[in-house]
Chain A
Amino acid sequence: MPVITYREAIRAALSEEIERDPNVVVMGEEVAQFNGAYKVTEGMYEKYGPKRIVDTPISEAGFIGMGVGASMLGIRPVMELMFWSFYSVAFDQIVNNAANVRYMSGGQIACPIVIRGPANGGTNVGATHSHTPENILAHHPGLKVVVPSNAADAKALMKTAIRDNDPVMYLENTILYGEKGEVPDGDITLPFGRANIARLGKDLTIVSYGRCVVHSLIAAEKMKAEKGLDIEVIDLRTIRPLDVDTVLKSVAKTHRVLIVEEQRPFCSVGSHLAAIIQEEAFDELDAPILRVGTIDAPAIYAPPVEKQFQLPNPERVIAGILKVMA
């Protein structure tokens, strides 16, 4: 099986979908001539030309809104936000127009747009460029939210996203862009809402997604070696729809839950997961559900402090594991 990076996997999905469907257009700041701020679209402008790979001005409300309007007439725009952090200046277009236009029209309109880009901290770019808005996006019915953790999922989920007839918010991670993984060749898609059990175990369930799956797997291996613990790690892959069944089945097996997410604690994805688990599997729990996430403050710049303390990392996950197991 070919081994490619997360970045190349997304590029492969975009390229294959461009070749498959003449209505697919990739658009965003610096995606064409500059080859992408994070090189996700590198080489695509040269290959597919200016009709399919379109550089936009720095004008997120304008071009995201334009993409929403174009999608109502059957175009399938894949809009890059250079950072998901910039969604705030296009928020009205996303939550009022993309998310609501189907509902407000009584189901007469579909909005098959994909908005994609990196959403993560850990690169010392400060509070304005480190937002992780999957919880905020998933709060809006009408939107679907995807957060892939590895190259194979990134490709398959991007293909599903582009073919989906609803607006899909696809959140990548700059730190994962260079991570390599085995990615099967060919036209492979993955249904949204199907979690991946990234590691089988029986003593504790870690529920995670995105880069936190990587931290969780490292922590789980260490706990196996040091404490003999068998930790199950669930990669949600998509936040909305959410694979609740896989989580509950695992909880019924392990009876202990740690949620690991790059989210601040208040109103996070994990808050909602914890609510669902206690509501639907209360009798299965042998310990309170705990969460490891981002320390509750704007993203700090100071490089070692952000990495070691503010964001989740394997050490903090291990501390969380030990607390749940205590």
Chain B
Amino acid sequence: MSKKSSAPAETSALSDVSIAVPSPHATAAANAGLTTEQRIELYRKMVRIRRFEERCLPVYNSGKIGGFLHLYIGQEAVAVGACSLMGNDDHVITAYRDHGHAIAVGMDTKPLMAELYGKVTGCSKGKGGSMHYFAPDLNYWGGHGIVGGQIPLGTGLAYAVKYQGKKGAAMAFMGDGAVNQGAVHEAYNLAALWDLPVIFVIENNRYSMGTSQERSSAGQLGKRAEAYDMKWYQCGGHDIYEVRATLDLALNRARDEFKPAVVEIDTYRYRGHSVADPDKTYRDRKEIEDYRNTKDPLQVFQKQLLHEKVLTDAIIEEIDLAARAEADRAVEFAEASPFPTADDIQKDVYWETDQPKRTSEGRIFFNHV
């Protein structure tokens, strides 16, 4: 195991937390049948997300990652819980806080880190950056930068699934800030009107950038579903069993009855909106500490799995060290990779021009001298 990780630990050891076990959702249908290996894998994925993102921070601060870096730390149980329920014909799309979902659906962290570095070995060849991770082979459709803009796309994924006669559903993730965008409401209406199998998942981390929910949104966010005659659910995002239990109900209903739903998940981000956010003006440090001490999703699940005797201190240690080492290897991979070339700039723009032979004629790119 590598010992050189410079990642600041968010949860290196269990602090004295007041977390009740067992989880009341452990016996839910979605969770009761989980094997020991599956439970450990859920925990491992959450740890891998956190260690990956913690490792991103010093790299960002050293200037090697450009642009924005929106960290998911604190919200890991949502993406891992949701994506662990996916079948072959289920699809996922999300906004710009997309690292967690990428790892949750099974993307390799090396190309994820390389993408942050803008390297050609990145998952989008260095063309997308932090906000634009995609893995269509894993039914992961991004990674989108405009708040709420991905929600009609997610509705379209559900439309395609239904049109093609498949039994599947799309999960379209958004933050609490997105619920005020018109495109989201247009998508709600279409989904309900046409019985599309899409779950609109609101990851309510209480702040749309630096504006609290109280200062940006009237009423209960999930309840807006009622205006469209859609069922809605609310659950905690700190307990992965609760996330799974809730989304399992919504997903099964979508797959079996083509019924959309809104699922509002209460969660919390420990870091600023992006790393550029000093996070000093709009919330108390105590609020962050309180959440971390009582609802940290990694600690909650760790405690649960210790209670279940699925985890031991030795396994916890092994998972943690392996995740740190994996993050270090991702950095090494990214460091060693080349940037795209100037010639690469105009590749991947059109499907057509990426083929050996063009189908159209004439000039399709226009260049200055």
Contact = CB atoms under 8 A, between A and B. Distances in A.
Contact of A59 (B161, B189, B360): B189
Given A66-B159, A194-B361, A72 B145 contact: no
Interface in B135-167: 135-137, 141-146, 149-157, 159-161, 163-164
A62 interface: yes
Interface stretch (A105-113, A175-183, A250-258): A105-113
A63 B161 contact: no
Range of interface residues on A (Cβ < 8 Å): 35 or more
B134 interface: yes
B361 A104 contact: no
The winner among A66, A104, A240 for most chain B CB atoms within 10 A is: A66
A306 to B, nearest CB: 31
Contact of A105 (B132, B154, B187): B132
Given A75-B163, A93-B152, A65 B348 contact: no
Contacts of B365: 141
A244 B183 contact: no
B60 to A, nearest CB: 20
B189 A62 contact: yes
A71 B136 CA distance: 13
A25 B145 CA distance: 28
Interface in B345-369: 346-352, 354, 359-366, 369
A72 B132 contact: no
B275 to A, nearest CB: 20
A142 B352 CA distance: 10
A193 B364 contact: yes
Range of interface residues on B (Cβ < 8 Å): 35 or more
Contacts of B163: 25, 51, 70, 75
B246 interface: no
18 contacts: A57-B193, A59-B189, A62-B183, A65-B186, A70-B159, A72-B160, A73-B161, A93-B149, A97-B149, A103-B128, A104-B128, A104-B134, A106-B127, A109-B134, A193-B363, A194-B362, A241-B362, A242-B366
Interface of B: 91, 93, 122-128, 132, 134-137, 141-146, 149-157, 159-161, 163-164, 182-183, 186-187, 189-190, 193, 346-352, 354, 359-366, 369
Cβ-closest 3 pairs across A and B: A69-B156, A65-B152, A193-B362
Given A25-B163, A238-B360, 18 more contacts: A51-B163, A57-B190, A61-B186, A62-B190, A63-B186, A65-B152, A66-B152, A69-B159, A93-B183, A102-B351, A105-B124, A105-B348, A107-B125, A165-B351, A192-B359, A193-B360, A241-B361, A245-B362
